[in-house]
Structure 1
Amino acid sequence: MEEKIVNTALDNLRKYTGIEGNFTLTRENRLDGKVDFQLPKGKEVFVAEVKREVRNYQLPIIENTARQYKNFLLIAETIFPNIKEELRKQEIAYLDAAGNIFLKTARHYLWIEGHKVEKANIEKANRAFTATGLKVVYLFLTDEHYLNLPQRIIAEEAGVALGNINYIIRGLKEQKFLIQKGKKELQILHKKELLEKWIMSFEEKLKPALHTGNFRFTKTGDEKDWNQMTLKPHETYWGGEPAGALLTNYLQPEVFTIYTSETRNDLIKNYRIVPDAKGNIQVYSKFWKEHDTKNKTIVNPILIYTDLLNTGNSRCIETAQMIYDKHIKQNI
């Protein structure tokens, strides 16, 4: 995958600018290779990391890597405009598959934008990564044994219509995340990559649909004592920063994420919170069954990890890594 992305990027860079670049795959020091650019004032050599897409939660890690290596270059199939802007602020060189590039060295300054990748084939819609499919994939990620249970049970546990299951499983097979073992047994492949794709897709497709509104505490003191709140068992759970704080004792929450099946009026009555569009309590609909939680107070570590990574906040990302190492890594 890395070489295909790099070759496309360098071919388009050459096509639009005439700049020649040569990529060498090395896999040294956790990076993917190096690129030799032939530029007007001579050759420039960059060490390169290759990704398919770049997301906000990855920026602190990329920035840290760029500090460690002189002439670091990020190459990706897709880099969104807001990410590019942040990379330029940090003077981190990048190149995308369309041939758009930014780099700044002692001898060269180059910034080219506006080119788009020509897609010969439009990617077929994949049911596995729709809002409905993501609920099923979450079930498999949190408890893989459901993968080989009857589709009726999978649908019930994920809270989706039975007719979706076959399409979702087919979609996972098409993207090489599932393999057939024997006549009836399925097994997840590339589980870490599947988790990463779920994290990105959850933030874009499922989480916005789950959002029921923002709230705030009625009293300032209630925010300080948030961890003394008694949440209704089986219905309401902490996610995001408060869940990360309870799981690691490392984070002081600023944004309070709640997943719940309680009504709006019940939330107001039970927790002394009030609706506020700018409030720092973000409420989402609960989308899983009871077994998919860490305990009676916080959601599953995979969902905590996801929420924290997607904040883009460095402290939250540190906490997410602690959770990954202790609670997730052994099952990936």
Structure 2
Amino acid sequence: MNNPFIPDLEVELVAGALDALHESTRIQGKIVDDAASDAGAVVLLEINGRKLRYHCAVKKKVDRYALPHDLLNRLDNAQHTLLVSSPLSPDMANRCRDIGLQFIDTAGNAYINDGAGIYVHVTGRRGDIDRQFPVNDTMTPAALRMMFASLAEPALLDAPYRDISSRARISTGAISKAFETLESRGLIGLASSGKRMIRTPELFLNEWASGYAGRLKPKLRKYRFAIDNLDRFLTWNPEFQLSAWGGEPAAMMLTGHLKPEACTVYVDMDDPHTLKDIVKDFRLRADPQGRIEIIEMFWNPDHFTDSFPTVPLHLVYADLMATHDSRNIAAARQLIPGITQHVHDSTR
């Protein structure tokens, strides 16, 4: 392997992943020279007498905040690209599988699916995962609320703290720390004008979506209910500023390409009537496995209402991506251009 454009450390990581793959599956693999590829290593895997050729997307660290979704959205040909990384957690390995991102890692975990009869899925091998993936607890709920507000109104990045606090429901004391977190992770920076800006909107969006599912949503008040007639529930009209559609119903309205199998609704739970009225009107029954999820609005409901009757698009995106359902992920991707364009338009 003599391609001078590929760093030695990248070659070393790919070689280590191929060795681990052989140990866990007996699959033979090798790095091949490809004069036409100056962007990364190319590997050849031999599986059941067939040879599969992949371009490698090498990422030394893929933690729970740097989602594979951003990488998948940027790939020209996901079917012939292989993510190669240090050990992935079981959750991250399953996420890669669910969205169709093939990978191998240096612990011997793998997901390979050529769509023509070859299917390999290995997860749970730890390697040095604890050493190489220290838990990152810097992305606090306050920082995630800041991200939510910034995607909705990018100008808030330079607004007075009292305005940010009011809209995003963050204490003024937590705002400086939230900014430090986002700056240290390279998510925001300074424009030539000296104002704060979101550096890479799509990466910022995926970081927000992952953080919301893993860190913020678990702390919110939420309820699940069963219903006998889901179609009837979909005829419900949210009350402006007190409730709004999220998840699959919102995607149906925004894309026209998804029939909801579950419903997500965000409700102002400081209002004493909204939740009770929904439960009563549709005869909902408490059920932890129910298809209707009602979640508290964690922002000031007087703001971020431009997309009503749905919640802001980036929250719909987060809801859909968290399901790991391929049809929801496809719908979520349709929302990306509108979200990133809103950020660009707001920072001109």
The 1:60/1:180 distance shift into structure 2, 3 A limit, reads closer
CA–CA distance in structure 2, aligned partners of residues 83 and 273 of structure 1: 34
**Secondary structure at the residue paired with 1:237?**
strand
What CA RMSD, in Å, does the superposition of the two structures yield over aligned residues?
4.5
Aligned pair partner of 2:260 in 253, 267, 275:
253
Aligned partner of 1:151 in structure 2 is 161
Aligned partner of 1:74 in structure 2 is 83
Aligned pair partner of 2:296 in 271, 285, 292:
285
Pairwise CA distance, 1:132: 2.0
Contact 2:88/2:109 (CA < 8 Å) preserved in 1? no
Aligned partner of 2:312 in structure 1 is 300
Pairwise CA distance, 1:293: 3.1
Q: Which amino acid aligns with 1:229?
A: W
TM-score using structure 1 length = 0.75
For the pair 1:193 / 2:203, whether they are aligned, the reply is: yes
CA–CA distance in structure 2, aligned partners of residues 60 and 96 of structure 1: 17
For the pair 1:228 / 2:235, whether they are aligned, the reply is: yes
List alignment gaps of at least 5 residues for structure 2: 1-5, 344-348
The 1:213/1:103 distance shift into structure 2, 3 A limit, reads closer
CA–CA distance in structure 2, aligned partners of residues 293 and 194 of structure 1: 21
Pairwise CA distance, 1:46: 3.3
TM-score using structure 2 length = 0.72
**Secondary structure at the residue paired with 1:119?**
helix
The 1:142/1:76 distance shift into structure 2, 3 A limit, reads farther
Q: Which amino acid aligns with 2:341?
A: Q
Q: Which amino acid aligns with 2:313?
A: P
Percent identical across equivalent pairs?
22
CA–CA distance in structure 2, aligned partners of residues 324 and 22 of structure 1: 34
Give the 5 Å matches for 1:1-332: 6=10, 9-10=13-14, 12-13=16-17, 22=31, 32-35=40-43, 46-51=54-59, 52-53=62-63, 68-69=79-80, 72-81=81-90, 84=93, 94-98=103-107, 100=109, 113-117=125-129, 119=131, 125-126=137-138, 129-181=139-191, 185-217=195-227, 219-220=228-229, 223-262=230-269, 263=272, 264-289=275-300, 290-325=302-337, 327-332=338-343
Is the strand fraction higher in 1 or 2?
1
**Secondary structure at the residue paired with 2:131?**
coil
The 1:48/1:166 distance shift into structure 2, 3 A limit, reads same
Question: What do residues 147-196 of structure 1 show as CA deviations (whole Å, max 9, x unaligned)?
Answer: 11111211121101110000110111111222235796222212221111
**Secondary structure at the residue paired with 1:269?**
helix
**Secondary structure at the residue paired with 2:234?**
helix
**Secondary structure at the residue paired with 1:79?**
coil
Question: How many residue pairs align between the two structures?
Answer: 317
Contact 1:100/1:115 (CA < 8 Å) preserved in 2? no
The 1:230/1:183 distance shift into structure 2, 3 A limit, reads closer
Contact 2:11/2:41 (CA < 8 Å) preserved in 1? no
CA–CA distance in structure 2, aligned partners of residues 110 and 295 of structure 1: 40
Contact 2:87/2:127 (CA < 8 Å) preserved in 1? no
Pairwise CA distance, 1:74: 2.6
Question: What do residues 192-225 of structure 1 show as CA deviations (whole Å, max 9, x unaligned)?
Answer: 21111111111111112224210123x42xx213
Contact 2:99/2:329 (CA < 8 Å) preserved in 1? no
CA–CA distance in structure 1, aligned partners of residues 333 and 267 of structure 2: 25
Contact 1:94/1:103 (CA < 8 Å) preserved in 2? yes
**Secondary structure at the residue paired with 2:57?**
strand
Q: Which amino acid aligns with 1:156?
A: S
The 1:44/1:307 distance shift into structure 2, 3 A limit, reads closer
The 1:26/1:269 distance shift into structure 2, 3 A limit, reads farther
CA–CA distance in structure 1, aligned partners of residues 327 and 287 of structure 2: 26
